[in-house]
Amino acid sequence: MRFDVIVIGAGPIGLCCAIEAKKNNLSYLIIDKGCLVNSLYNYPKNMTFFSTSDKLEIGEIPFISHNAKPTKSEALEYYRRVASSWELNMNLYEEVIDIKKGDEFEVKTNKSNYFARKIILSTGFYDLPYKLNVEGEDLPKVKHYYDEPHPYFGMNVAVVGAANSAVDVALETYRKGAQEVTMIVREPSISESVKYWVKPDVENRIKEGSIKSYFNSNITKITEDSIHVKTPDGEITIDNDFVLAMTGYQPDFSFLKKIGIKIGDDEHNTPVHNDETMMTNVEGIYLAGVICGGLKTNKWFIENSRDHAEIIVSDILKK
């Protein structure tokens, strides 16, 4: 129950940190509240990564995929292989509830207590969706995660948002037989950040009317069979069976604050940490992976945050 390092989060970057700790003979434990690479497991079934497989490699294990950009199932297979090849020590389906700092850290989970000299937090941002905060959002027809298009065949679907996830969902449900797909977009246009090979596709489907769209518009109310939308031309009501709210996700700031990590007052609420060591304002707690960007969830990816593992473990060894 005592370790040099406890890594919280068995995402790609948490695994990378554990491998680095193992390579340097530090005792370690990974704890994740879900399955191995839980966030990836919850991505849409038919998704393809925008990174090529070599950019997703960790622990010097080659990632070979059928095409240059791997699918979700290839990525799951790959990270399973990484975890078993390195024989990583991990407790899955165990949630970290609190961390108390004394002479060493006491990590409380929903199952047990552990002690560690250092903590690496690689908890990502995929657990907390941005809410629409409108009446009817609690209805079962409102989804903040999308899996596959089949349930929406023959249905009137509203997709909220205009970034990559929303665009992928609108195109896929349209192509797989949804009766009507309507995009409700707060901004005046499809996001500039949408993958350059996908953006013209959605824009042309909107132009030809295959996918309906309301820009500069917001849902104001959801009922069993309709949505109310505030548009620049006034409030309208649309027949609706499902609302797919692809409005993005955010890190669990309340957990960070609870364990003493300060949240920056910059526009992205970046959790306070030293870029050169990745250590937070709490001596001995490090951040790794996408959580480092706060609300700027497109700053860090797997491919550019793999390096965090080496930076952190070399700082731990120095200290």
Ligand X SMILES: Cc1cc2nc3c(=O)[nH]c(=O)nc-3n(C[C@H](O)[C@H](O)[C@H](O)COP(=O)(O)OP(=O)(O)OC[C@H]3O[C@@H](n4cnc5c(N)ncnc54)[C@H](O)[C@@H]3O)c2cc1C
Report the interface residues with ligand X, using CB under 6 A: 8-14, 31-34, 38-40, 43, 47, 49-51, 95-96, 122-124, 126-127, 165, 255, 289-290, 301-303
Nearer to ligand X, 129 or 284 (CB): 129
Q: Which is nearer to ligand X, 27 or 109 (CB)?
A: 109
Q: How far is the CB of 72 from ligand X (least distance, A)?
A: 9
State which residue, 106 or 303, has the beta carbon closest to ligand X.
303
| Closer by beta carbon to ligand X, 99 or else 158 | 99
DSSP state of 228: E
* CB 278, min distance to ligand X, A: 12
- At its nearest, how many Å lie between ligand X and the CB of residue 75? 9
Specify the 3-state DSSP secondary structure of 316: helix
Question: Nearest approach, Cβ of 69 to ligand X (angstroms)?
Answer: 7
Nearest to residue 44, comparing CAs of 146, 128, 124?
146
Q: Helices marked H in 149-271 — which ranges?
A: 164-175, 199-208, 253-258
**Does residue 301 contact residue 277 with C-beta atoms inside 8 Å?**
no
CB of 218 to ligand X, least distance (A): 23
Q: Which helix (H) or strand (E) holds 302?
A: helix 302-305
Of the two residues 243 and 302, which places its CB atom closer to ligand X in the complex? 302
**Shortest Cβ distance from residue 299 to ligand X (Å)?**
10
- Is the CB of 12 or the CB of 59 nearer to ligand X? 12
CA dihedral sign of residues 28, 259, 270, 251: positive
Kindly tell me which of 11 and 136 has the beta carbon lying closer to ligand X: 11
Q: Please choose, from the candidates 132, 129, 128, the residue with its C-alpha nearest in 3D space to the C-alpha of residue 218.
A: 132
Strands (E), 102-139: 105-109, 113-121, 128-129
Residues forming a β-bridge with 244 = 143, 159
- Whole-number minimum distance, CB 82 to ligand X, in Å? 12
